[in-house]
């Protein structure tokens, strides 16, 4: 079967997006494994299905290149928002709701006339309770091999550690071991954060089921929450990732994390699956 797809990226976190409102993809895990491959497939950090929703305006599902499904994906939520804004709603509404595996997220599109500028996603409350993250410990602050981590779920599990320099952080040498450490019953995405000032930081990420990516939206939100909990930054920061910058705010009034950033089309194609 020939599958039509759209490649999009948000801060360099690239996924293959498929309009699946007609339920054309029967086995998303195997499609993700195949088309995410950068040598034998299209090449991406995973597959995102854009689906019909009974409870929101649109729904998304996100699969890692190893075929596992994640509950939530921040960069994909902005890309799905742009896709739906342009192709489903014809730019007729700038605010709408997106159903994800981690609940309904409210999106606001920022435009410059007819052009898309950026999107803000209300990512909701961070989850800090160990059993719900989940992390097999009494507190969300843990140690693995003598390194401190602050664990946060944004619907999907993250463990944040602070480093002096992201450039020399052991993303590839330690990331794969931390990801599958037995303290994380559902594995974890691992963030290495270098704080530059009270409102500016850098982050590199080792993603569960994927490896290093150029950006991670949920990981950025988890990083800010960890920064605030450890008194490293204020509640609003610019976070520089390898593929771009996201603006993240952890609101005091309702404790929701707000994520603002880019979403870009790269190319369209078809592939035999
Ligand atoms: N890059 C994504 C997160 C993917 C997370 C996935 N690797 C998982 O298994 O949770 C983001 O922008 O939030």
Considering the domain architecture, whether residues 112 and 64 belong to the same structural domain is answered as yes
Instruction: Name which of 217, 258, 210, 221 is nearest 128 in CA terms.
Output: 221
CA distance 20 to 58: 11
The stretches of 164-234 forming alpha helices (DSSP H) are 171-179, 217-229
Considering the domain architecture, whether residues 157 and 246 belong to the same structural domain is answered as yes
- Averaged confidence pLDDT in the chain: 98
Considering the domain architecture, whether residues 216 and 140 belong to the same structural domain is answered as yes
Asked if residue 25 has a cis previous peptide bond (ω within 30° of 0), the answer is no
- At residue 207, the pLDDT reads 98
Q: What is the pTM of this model?
A: 0.98
Residue 140: DSSP 8-state: S
Report strand pairing: 103-112 vs 95-100.
antiparallel
Q: If residue 246 lies in a helix (H) or strand (E), which one and from where to where?
A: strand 244-250
Given the residues 79, 151, 216, 227, the one annotated as active site: 216
- At residue 171, the pLDDT reads 98
Active site residue 221: no
- At residue 46, the pLDDT reads 98
Considering the domain architecture, whether residues 148 and 53 belong to the same structural domain is answered as no
**Does 64 appear as a known binding residue?**
yes
Residues 6+ apart with CB under 8 A from 209: 46, 64, 65, 66, 67, 68, 70, 187
Considering the domain architecture, whether residues 141 and 105 belong to the same structural domain is answered as no
Considering the domain architecture, whether residues 138 and 167 belong to the same structural domain is answered as yes
Q: How far, in Å, are 156, 246, 270, 273 from residue 218 at the CA level?
A: 8, 11, 29, 30
Considering the domain architecture, whether residues 65 and 84 belong to the same structural domain is answered as yes
Which of 67, 207, 224 to mutate for ligand 1's pocket (most ligand atoms within 8 Å of CB)? Answer: 207
Considering the domain architecture, whether residues 206 and 266 belong to the same structural domain is answered as no
Per the structure, how many domains does the chain have? 2
**Beta-sheet strands, E only, within 64-102:** 69-70, 95-100
Give me the percent of the chain exceeding a pLDDT of 90.
99
**Does 168 appear as a known binding residue?**
no
Q: If residue 60 lies in a helix (H) or strand (E), which one and from where to where?
A: strand 58-63
- At residue 236, the pLDDT reads 98
Considering the domain architecture, whether residues 211 and 267 belong to the same structural domain is answered as no
Per the structure, the complete domain to which residue 62 belongs is given by 2-123+261-272
10 Å CB burial of residue 72 (0-12, 13-18, 19+) is buried
CATH of the domain at 115: 3.10.310.10
Cα 230 to ligand 1 centre (Å): 23
- At residue 93, the pLDDT reads 97
Q: What are phi and psi of 32, to 5 degrees?
A: -65, -45
92-106 confidence digits (pLDDT tens): 999 999 999 999 999
Determine if ligand 1 sits within 6 Å of the CB of residue 67.
no
Cα 164 to ligand 1 centre (Å): 24
- ipTM over cut 0.95: yes
Considering the domain architecture, whether residues 8 and 118 belong to the same structural domain is answered as yes
Active site residue 51: no
- At residue 17, the pLDDT reads 98
Confidence class of residue 58 from pLDDT cuts 50, 70 and 90?
A: very high
Cα 55 to ligand 1 centre (Å): 23
151-172 confidence digits (pLDDT tens): 999 999 999 999 999 999 999 9
Considering the domain architecture, whether residues 66 and 12 belong to the same structural domain is answered as yes
Long-range contacts of 178-184 (CB under 8 A, 24+ apart): 178/144, 178/149, 178/206, 179/206, 179/208, 181/144, 182/136, 183/135, 183/136, 183/137, 183/142, 183/144, 184/134, 184/135, 184/136, 184/157, 184/159
Confidence class of residue 78 from pLDDT cuts 50, 70 and 90?
A: very high
Considering the domain architecture, whether residues 55 and 170 belong to the same structural domain is answered as no
């Amino acid at each position: 079967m020939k599958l039509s797809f759209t490649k999009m990226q948000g801060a360099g976190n690239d996924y293959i997006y498929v309009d699946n409102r007609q339920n054309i993809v029967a086995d998303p895990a195997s499609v993700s494994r195949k088309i995410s491959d950068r040598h034998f497939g299209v090449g991406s950090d995973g597959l995102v299905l854009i689906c019909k929703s009974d409870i929101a305006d649109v729904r998304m599902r996100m699969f890692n290149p190893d075929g596992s499904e994640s509950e939530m994906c921040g960069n994909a939520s902005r890309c799905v928002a742009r896709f739906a804004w342009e192709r489903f709603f014809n730019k007729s509404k700038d605010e709408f709701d997106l159903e994800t595996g981690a609940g309904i997220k409210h999106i606001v599109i920022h435009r410059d006339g007819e052009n898309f500028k950026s999107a803000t996603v209300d990512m909701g409350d961070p989850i800090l309770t160990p059993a719900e993250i989940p992390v097999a410990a009494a507190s969300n602050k843990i140690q693995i091999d003598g390194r401190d981590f602050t664990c946060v779920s944004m619907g999907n599990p993250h463990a944040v550690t602070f480093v002096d320099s992201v450039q020399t952080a052991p993303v590839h040498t330690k990331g794969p071991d931390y990801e599958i450490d037995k303290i994380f019953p559902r594995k974890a995405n691992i963030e290495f954060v270098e704080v530059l000032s009270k409102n500016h930081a850098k982050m590199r990420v080792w993603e569960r089921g994927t490896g290093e990516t150029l950006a991670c939206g949920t990981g950025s939100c988890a990083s800010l929450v960890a920064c605030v909990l450890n008194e490293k930054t204020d509640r609003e920061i610019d976070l520089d990732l390898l593929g771009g910058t996201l603006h993240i705010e952890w609101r005091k009034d309702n404790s929701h994390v707000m994520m603002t950033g880019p979403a870009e089309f790269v190319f369209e194609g078809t592939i035999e699956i």
